[in-house]
């Protein structure tokens, strides 16, 4: 079958012929319809997320069940599904408590530590799958599973928002950022998008209540930093209103910031982070999409034959919203 393969860290991802996967115990094989491509894949390409090569990449997957491995129950050939990005045990206290991204026995990422979904077929753990509602297209489901579920987790579990609150999004034009805006608006918040790229900023006007180049004197109840650079983290803390919460979503190893604790005490500002999303979050996110409360933003599409073009688009950082690769 055709697959996008990273043969060595820091080399280009190339379309390659590989043997089709076989469903092992507890696994299903999917016919992949579509797979999202974002900055996480570019970071994985460089080796920043660990794992090993050669590796079939890709984790934002929409597809249909093609085969069941030994011991798999509850799924049938033809079921429309997406998957969690994380390999988790399902048994530890974090998994049992619905916070499986903190799993004590975390097994890594799909498309980084095991083969992923930028391919005609992929074998995945059945316990990580989520059913896609009939009303949701598989391309929307694919990006909902990361680019929308991640913001859903931020705005429900880490900094719950309700109508009337103000949410600022740093890096609002990115694949996750634009969906932070979409989910925040679905919850009735006023959204300030902060985006330095002028073309993306122009495209964001219809997705945010206001778009700014920098935070400046902004004071928001929730500040979501999807960039997590030294400059953006400093701006995020400065943009939190009294009683506000700063949530760091992206991260880059080795970035440090100086912090004046005064607003943490005198204004009870909270600084926290948010790690991906649970399967329950994925299900709730798909429900929001099914009910047209949140609209997935797909900024560019590529065929699998031009997967290198999809990576170039990520590296150029010029696409508003998410990039998808059509497999079928
Ligand atoms: Zn676990």
Residue 84 alpha carbon to ligand 1 centre in Å: 13
Residue 102 alpha carbon to ligand 1 centre in Å: 7
Q: Superfamily assignment of 2-146+276-326 in CATH?
A: Medium-chain alcohol dehydrogenases, catalytic domain (3.90.180.10)
Distances in whole angstroms, Cα of residue 89 to Cα of each of 14, 93, 127: 31, 10, 9
Residue 125 alpha carbon to ligand 1 centre in Å: 14
Residue 101 alpha carbon to ligand 1 centre in Å: 8
Residue 65 alpha carbon to ligand 1 centre in Å: 24
For residue 147 the two structure tokens come to 């680019």
Residue 107 alpha carbon to ligand 1 centre in Å: 9
In tens digits, the chain (328 residues) has pLDDT values of 999 999 999 999 999 999 999 999 999 999 999 999 999 999 999 999 999 999 999 999 999 999 999 999 999 999 999 999 999 999 999 999 999 999 999 999 999 999 999 999 999 999 999 999 999 999 999 999 999 999 999 999 999 999 999 999 999 999 999 999 999 999 999 999 999 999 999 999 999 999 999 998 999 999 999 999 999 999 999 999 999 999 999 878 889 999 999 999 999 999 999 999 999 999 999 999 999 999 999 999 999 999 999 999 999 988 999 999 999 8
Local structure of 21: helix, strand or coil = coil
pLDDT at 253: 81
Residue 28 alpha carbon to ligand 1 centre in Å: 20
Residue 145 alpha carbon to ligand 1 centre in Å: 19
Is the separation of the CB atoms in 220 and 240 below 8 Å? yes
For residue 247 the two structure tokens come to 């949530």
162 CB burial (10 A radius; 0-12, 13-18, 19+): exposed
Q: Superfamily assignment of 160-273 in CATH?
A: NAD(P)-binding Rossmann-like Domain (3.40.50.720)
Residue 289 alpha carbon to ligand 1 centre in Å: 28
27 backbone dihedrals φ, ψ, rounded to 5°: -110, 160
List the chain domain ranges.
Answer: 2-146+276-326, 160-273
Residue 19 alpha carbon to ligand 1 centre in Å: 31
Residue 150 alpha carbon to ligand 1 centre in Å: 19
């Amino acid at each position: 079958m055709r697959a996008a393969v990273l043969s060595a860290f820091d080399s280009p991802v190339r379309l390659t012929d590989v043997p089709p996967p076989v469903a092992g115990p507890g696994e299903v094989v999917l016919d992949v319809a579509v797979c999202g491509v974002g900055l996480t894949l570019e970071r994985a390409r460089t080796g920043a997320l660990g794992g090993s090569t050669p590796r079939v990449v890709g984790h934002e997957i929409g597809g249909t069940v093609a085969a069941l491995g030994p011991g798999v129950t509850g799924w049938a050939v033809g079921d429309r599904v997406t998957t969690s990005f994380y390999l988790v045990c399902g048994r530890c206290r974090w998994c049992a408590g619905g916070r499986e991204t903190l799993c004590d026995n975390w097994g890594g990422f799909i498309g980084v530590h095991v083969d992923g979904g930028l391919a005609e077929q992929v074998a995945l753990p059945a316990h990580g799958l989520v059913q896609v509602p009939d009303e949701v297209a598989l391309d929307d489901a694919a990006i909902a599973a990361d680019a929308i579920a991640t913001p859903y987790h931020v705005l429900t579990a880490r900094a719950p928002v309700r109508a009337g609150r103000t949410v600022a999004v740093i890096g609002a034009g990115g694949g996750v950022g634009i969906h932070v805006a979409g989910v925040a608006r679905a919850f009735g918040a006023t959204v300030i998008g902060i985006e330095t790229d002028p073309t993306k900023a122009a495209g964001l006007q219809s997705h945010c209540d206001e778009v700014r180049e920098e935070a400046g004197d902004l004071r928001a109840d929730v500040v979501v930093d999807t960039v997590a650079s030294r400059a953006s983290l400093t701006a995020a803390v400065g943009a939190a209103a009294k009683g506000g919460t700063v949530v760091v979503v992206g991260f880059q190893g080795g970035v440090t910031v100086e912090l004046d604790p005064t607003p943490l005490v005198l204004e009870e500002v909270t600084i926290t982070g948010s790690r991906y999303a649970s399967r329950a979050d994925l299900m709730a996110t798909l429900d929001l999409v099914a009910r047209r409360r949140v609209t997935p933003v797909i900024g560019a599409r590529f065929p699998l034959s031009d997967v290198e073009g999809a990576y170039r688009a990520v590296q150029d950082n010029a696409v508003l919203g998410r990039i998808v690769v059509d497999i079928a």
